[in-house]
Amino acid sequence: MISPKSQLLFEELIAALKDAELYDNVRDFNMWASTFSTNDQTAKIAAVRKMKDRCHPKLLGDYRLSVKGNGSYPVVEFLERLINSFSEDLNKQ
C-alpha cells in the first residue's frame, strides 16, 4: 500500500514523535499503519488519507521534531515530502 519511500519517511516521523514525547500522535499513526497488513483496500486508503491530513504543517509544523529537512523550516519541508509521498501512494490506487 505505501511505497518504500513513504515507509522510510513514516519511520523517521514516528522516531521524531517519540523523541518529542508526542505519544498520542505515535499511537494514532501506528493505529492507522496497522491497516496496511489487512486486505481491506478501503481501510488502507482511509488510513493513508488520515496520516496525510495529520502530517499537515499547521498541525505538526510547530513542533521541534528532529527530522531531516532543508531550509529555514526543516520540519515543514519534511512534512511536505511525507505528504507528497503519501499522495503519490494514493494516486497509484
| Predicted confidence (pLDDT) per residue in 22-60, tens digit | 999 999 999 998 988 888 889 888 988 898 888 888 777
Helix (H) or strand (E) holding 24: helix 23-33
* Three-class DSSP category at 44: helix
Residue % of the chain over a pLDDT of 70: 96
Using CA atoms, how far residue 51 sits from 37, 72, 85, in Å, is 16, 24, 11
What's the whole-model pTM score? 0.85
Neighbours of 32 (CB within 10 A): 20
At 43, list the grid cell: 481501510
Residue 53: per-residue pLDDT: 87
